[in-house]
Amino acid sequence: MTDIYQLMERPHEFRTLSLNVMSLAAQLDGINFEAIRKQPSTNVPLLPFWHNKVSCTTRDVLGEDTPVADVFLWLRVYLVLSERAHTLLHPMLASAGEFLPITVDGQQMYIFNCRDYGREDESLCIKKYLNGLDDGYETLAFYEQDIESRLLFKSKLNGIALYATEHFKRVCEENGLMGLRFERNLLATF
């Protein structure tokens, strides 16, 4: 059985991008704020609107004077990769999404926009209700045969997270790529 993890941030230990959707939209060509804001659910490619001059800085979130990680999350669904992480992961992830170059604090980095979805086993995905209204899911499960060959993927039922298999976790650990927390609770908020 393939272990699946929700990728989570480590805000006490590492910096994050000081970039919001509005400032990103101002740097891109031909795509507006609303389209970028909805991108995690619409899954439109960003590469046609991207160019090599997109840039930003980093900022501490909960720590003080924390370093920039090799690989970390931005807006929960995008992976940010250092040059080293990009070199290692590009061959493995190229078919699952697009690499968007970005200058961060003067250094070349890449945002990985995962465009791959894992197929949910809806018979095991239990909806949650609050005061009679749909409030997401209590459980989330994927078909083993669909995700076993993947490294990263998204969920159509829970579009606000990025998921990884044990293979991706192992690649990060074996290559010392720090910055992610691998959470077994696929619906964890924090």
pLDDT digits (tens, 9 = 90+) for 4-44: 999 999 999 999 999 999 999 999 989 999 999 999 989 99
State the Cα–Cα distance between residues 142 and 5, nearest whole angstrom.
11
What is the structure's pLDDT at 145?
95
- 66 within some domain: yes
Low-confidence winner among 1-5, 72-76, 139-143 (lowest mean pLDDT): 1-5
Structure-block tokens of residue 165 = 């298999």
- 149 within some domain: yes
With 80 as the cut, is the pLDDT of residue 49 above it? yes
With 90 as the cut, is the pLDDT of residue 90 above it? yes
- 189 within some domain: no
Check if the beta carbon of residue 7 is closer than 8 Å to that of residue 177. no
What is the structure's pLDDT at 58?
97
C-alpha radius of gyration, the chain, whole number: 17
What is the structure's pLDDT at 136?
85
Q: How many domains does the chain have?
A: 1
- 128 within some domain: yes
- 190 within some domain: no
Residue 174 belongs to what domain range? 4-183
Residue 146 pLDDT class (50, 70, 90 cuts): very high
With 80 as the cut, is the pLDDT of residue 131 above it? yes
- 74 within some domain: yes
State the Cα–Cα distance between residues 173 and 137, nearest whole angstrom.
30
With 90 as the cut, is the pLDDT of residue 100 above it? yes
Residue 148 pLDDT class (50, 70, 90 cuts): very high
What value does the mean pLDDT of the chain take?
A: 95
Check if the beta carbon of residue 190 is closer than 8 Å to that of residue 9. no
With 80 as the cut, is the pLDDT of residue 87 above it? yes
With 80 as the cut, is the pLDDT of residue 66 above it? yes
Q: CA–CA distance from 97 to each of 61, 92, 115 (Å)?
A: 27, 10, 5
Residue 159 pLDDT class (50, 70, 90 cuts): confident
Check if the beta carbon of residue 152 is closer than 8 Å to that of residue 97. yes
With 80 as the cut, is the pLDDT of residue 160 above it? yes
- 188 within some domain: no
- 117 within some domain: yes
